[in-house]
Amino acid sequence: MKKIILLSFAGCIVISACHKTPAPTTTTVTETQVITDFVQKIALPEYANLQVKATALNTAVLTLNTSPTDANLAAAQQAWRDVRTSWETCEGFLFGPVEDNNYDPNTDTWPVDYRQLDSLVASSTALNIATVQNLSQSLRGYHPLEFILWGQNGAATADSINAAQKQYMVALSQDILNNIDSLNYSWSATGGNFQQQVLQAGAGSTRFTSHQQLLLAIIGSISDICNEVGQQASGGKIYDPYTSRDSFQTESPFSHNSMIDFRNNIIGAQNAYLCTFNGQTGASISTFVAAKNLSLDNNIKQQFTAAINALNTVNVTFESAIFTQRTQLQSAMTALNTLQGTLDGDLKTFIQTYVKD
């Protein structure tokens, strides 16, 4: 009796196995592959792209200076938007030289004190590159240049930009380019070679003594930008102007580019997690996580999608949305807080559990 039952049971297994749909498989990648592809597919190409965009911006501003037409103003404005797209995407992995050497605050401090800016332009100060490099950070970088290119009310024309403003905008665009050239150089194998500090994590790097330390730094930078955009406390990109209902406290108020900035921040963070940029993909943190905890990986990807979709529900400028689409902005902050909590909690715990070297 027992034998018959066992044989029948075995037969059931065989029959069942013949018709069972194979379970989905998950690709496995090593920590070294993830780290290598982060450098080769994310950091180096994104910073190289940023340098190209900054060079184009500087060229467009120089053209506007020598040939002040509305068409050239429009071209400079578009070049500014293009470099902002690249910069905000790069903020998805804001660690290393960009922080160490103050490239971020030197180019992207906001809000602009436009009254102080107007006073500076009206003074007898020579607004050359040497002067700009010694100004306070709120008078350097993208946003003072934005103020000149668009004007306080977004209605600047080529004729409305005076001689002092032209001198200032030329110096500002050159300062931006200098900072980005230096940032790109700091990662270059022929420059500061920070890429080697990353690639040799746990194997000779003086900055990252283990794979775990490096992966936590990358994940920390992904989490940080989600927190900066979505945190519901002082310092949040959305929260501060949302709470004060002050459109001049937003990130890019003169060009009305703020919502685009926010979306690109989160897209950049998502790119870093998925190891994808400009149509190229590589071994990712996502793949590494999915091999051991598919549920966590799916959850993170779904939360990225939910956060980006929430930002996309805002269909007016951010400067208007803080008055007219507050519910949508609140939903976006909530989605980003959920995402940031998962990144800073479950994902970091995962790395600490499974990456020991």
Distances in Å between the Cα of 208 and the Cα atoms of 44, 185, 194, 274, 344 are 18, 20, 11, 22, 19
Phi, psi values for residue 280, rounded to 5°: -105, 140
> Which pLDDT value is given to residue 26?
60
> Which pLDDT value is given to residue 49?
98
> Which pLDDT value is given to residue 4?
34
CA distance 161 to 152: 12
Q: Single out the residue of 81, 80, 99 nearest to residue 225, CA to CA.
A: 99
> Which pLDDT value is given to residue 104?
97
CATH node for 31-182+200-354 = 1.20.1420.20
Measured in Å, how far apart are the chain's first and last C-alpha atoms?
54
Kindly state the DSSP code that residue 344 receives in the 8-state scheme.
I
Upstream peptide bond of 68 is cis (omega within 30 degrees of 0)? no
User: Which helix or strand (DSSP H or E) is residue 281 part of?
Assistant: strand 280-281
> Which pLDDT value is given to residue 257?
98
Walking along the chain (357 residues) 10 residues at a time, the average pLDDT comes out as 34 41 64 98 98 98 98 98 98 96 96 92 96 96 98 95 98 98 97 98 96 98 98 95 95 97 98 97 98 98 98 98 98 98 98 95
Q: Single out the residue of 289, 309, 308, 305 nearest to residue 297, CA to CA.
A: 289
Q: Where do the structural domains in the chain lie, given as residue ranges?
A: 31-182+200-354
Sign of CA dihedral 6, 12, 15, 18: negative
Please list, residue by residue across 48-64, b when 16 or more beta carbons sit within 10 angstroms of its beta carbon and e when fewer do.
ebbbebbbbbbebbbbb
Give this prediction's pTM: 0.91
Average pLDDT score over the chain: 93
Chain centroid to Cα 87, Å, comes to 7
Answer yes or no: are the C-beta atoms of 296 and 350 closer than 8 Å.
Answer: yes
Per-residue pLDDT of 261-295, as tens digits, reads 999 999 999 999 999 999 999 999 999 999 999 99
